[in-house]
């Protein structure tokens, strides 16, 4: 049998000068080919594809850590930056989760075994100069449980989901504080709870309706100016309106709105908050705002303190610090204000904003709320998305899962349905969509 010869591969001139860029491009093409192949194989064998993706991700993270550790190892040990106190505690927790010895910990974290021994021996030091500290102090047992669950979820994931104590020591109404303090409390009339669920679920048993509010202001549209004088237009009436919005963080419900002719003052903000508190029947425990002059005013701080409201500020130039209300503002602009001719009369504009609030609270489902509306979550009603659903497919198994949130099939499969679209107050921009049985 004749031996097959491989034809020579023609190489371009000066190819050795492009070796480094060719290696980078080849790896990028391999990544693209692998992603395409895994995407096509996902429908046939999703389990094997998931294992392949996890293996690939593990190898990439390992290579990333090798590069970073090599850079830090090139620095003399005495010139390396010190770990912060809470980082030292995180290293000791990682050591406990991994089961490392002192030498293994020192080798992985680029420190000496004596340093690890010193940290371990001084774990329980007190005071601001302690060598090992927590990022936030933990002085109550509920806070310790919440902290421990968070650590278990990252250091020992199976235990973060499965830890389930049979009972809790007697605590007050703040026994179940989660990540957002003040958002949850024990339901009235309940004493010492007996838990059969996980710790992660137990800290979220009963939300308060108005635990945390977010307040911000937005003009009716951005860019009411041109960048040259003398035609620059100020952001005030009649060129634009300012809309103040208060949102309940838990239910995403709009608790109050107000319309201003210009950027409101601290007094106007207090009046708006007072009306919202009277309508809700209670004041929030926390109020999150940006760092505008209305909210940093000393009079506004005293006003909040008299009503037991704790102020919290979003980070400067960080769009995600108050992302909940910023997303609401985007919805109001894109789904309401930019679809109508904004009226110059204040009463007419208030009516348009009021219709949007009614539609948003009562008819607009949210993916964050598992397709429920803010009014359903705030009023603790059973969400309509959880009701039995219509199934138009004849051969669909009744027990098969459907798109989230899951719901049982109403009646028999293969039903004919009709899409009923109505509009609130004859406004075309806020539609109300319902599914009904076709005649």
pLDDT range class, residue 175, cuts 50, 70, 90 = very low
The DSSP annotation for 158-219 comes to HHHHH---S------TTTT--SSTTSB-PPTT--S----S-HHHHTTS-B-TTSEEEEEEEE
Q: What string of H, E and C letters represents the secondary structure of 407-434?
A: CCECCCCCCCEEEEEEEHHHCCCCEEEE
Per-residue b or e along 304-328, where b marks 16 or more CB atoms closer than 10 Å to that residue's CB: beeeebeebebeeeeeeebebbbeb
Measured at the alpha carbon of residue 174, what is the angle toward residues 169 and 179, in degrees to the nearest 5? Answer: 110
Summarize pLDDT for 283-326 with one digit per residue, the tens.
898 999 888 888 888 999 999 999 999 988 876 666 666 888 88
Summarize pLDDT for 28-38 with one digit per residue, the tens.
777 777 777 77
Task: Report the candidate in 171, 194, 167 with the shortest Cα–Cα distance to residue 184.
Answer: 171
Summarize pLDDT for 93-141 with one digit per residue, the tens.
888 877 888 888 888 888 888 888 888 888 888 887 888 888 777 777 7
The DSSP annotation for 254-322 comes to EEEEEEESSS--HHHHHHHHHHHHHHHTS--SEEEE---HHHH-HHHHHHHHHTTPEEEEPPTT-TTTT
pLDDT at 332 over 90: no
Between 3.30.420.10, 3.20.20.70, 3.30.420.40, 3.40.50.2020, what CATH number should domain 212-363 receive? 3.30.420.10
- Distance CA(26)–CA(374), nearest Å, equals 50
pLDDT at 369 over 80: yes
Task: Report the candidate in 157, 96, 79 with the shortest Cα–Cα distance to residue 104.
Answer: 96
- Distance CA(401)–CA(403), nearest Å, equals 7
- Distance CA(372)–CA(362), nearest Å, equals 9
Model confidence, pTM? 0.51
**Which comes out higher in pLDDT, residue 293 or 7?**
293
């Amino acid at each position: 049998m004749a031996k097959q010869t491989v034809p020579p591969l023609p190489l371009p001139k000066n190819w050795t000068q492009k070796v480094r860029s060719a290696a980078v491009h080849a790896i990028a093409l391999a990544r693209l080919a692998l992603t395409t192949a895994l995407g096509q194989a996902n429908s046939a064998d999703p389990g094997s594809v998931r294992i392949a993706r996890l293996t690939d991700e593990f190898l990439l993270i390992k290579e990333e850590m090798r590069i970073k550790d090599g850079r830090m190892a090139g620095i003399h040990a005495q010139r390396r930056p010190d770990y912060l106190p809470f980082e030292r505690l995180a290293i000791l927790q990682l050591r406990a989760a991994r089961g490392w010895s002192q030498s293994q910990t020192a080798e992985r974290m680029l420190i000496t075994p004596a340093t690890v021994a010193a940290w371990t021996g001084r774990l329980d030091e007190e005071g601001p100069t302690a060598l090992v500290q927590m990022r936030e102090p933990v002085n109550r047992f509920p806070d310790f449980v919440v902290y421990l669950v968070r650590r278990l979820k990252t250091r020992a994931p199976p235990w973060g989901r499965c830890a389930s104590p049979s009972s809790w020591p007697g605590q007050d109404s703040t026994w179940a504080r989660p990540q957002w303090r003040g958002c949850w409390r024990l339901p009235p009339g309940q004493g010492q709870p007996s838990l059969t669920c996980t710790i992660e679920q137990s800290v979220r048993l009963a939300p308060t309706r108005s635990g945390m509010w977010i307040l911000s202001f937005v003009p009716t549209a951005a860019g009411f100016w041109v960048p040259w004088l003398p035609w620059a237009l100020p952001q005030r009436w009649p060129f634009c309106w300012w809309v103040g919005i208060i949102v309940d963080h838990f239910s995403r419900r709009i608790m109050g709105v107000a319309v201003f002719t210009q950027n409101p003052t601290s007094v106007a903000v207090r009046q708006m908050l007072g009306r919202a508190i009277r309508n809700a029947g209670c004041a929030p425990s926390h109020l999150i705002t940006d760092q505008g002059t209305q909210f940093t005013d000393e009079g506004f701080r005293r006003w909040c303190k008299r009503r037991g409201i704790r102020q919290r500020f979003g980070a400067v130039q960080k769009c995600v610090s108050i992302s909940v209300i910023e997303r609401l503002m985007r919805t109001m602009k894109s789904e309401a204000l930019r679809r109508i001719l904004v009226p110059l009369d204040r009463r007419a504009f208030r009516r348009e904003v009021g219709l949007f609030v009614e539609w948003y609270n009562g008819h607009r489902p949210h993916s964050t709320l598992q397709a429920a509306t803010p009014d359903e979550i705030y009023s603790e009603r059973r969400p309509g998305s959880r009701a039995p659903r219509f199934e138009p497919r004849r051969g669909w198994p009744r027990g098969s899962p459907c798109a989230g949130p899951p719901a049982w099939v109403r009646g028999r499969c293969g039903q004919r349905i009709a899409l009923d679209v109505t509009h609130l107050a004859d406004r075309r921009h806020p539609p109300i969509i319902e599914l009904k049985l076709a005649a």
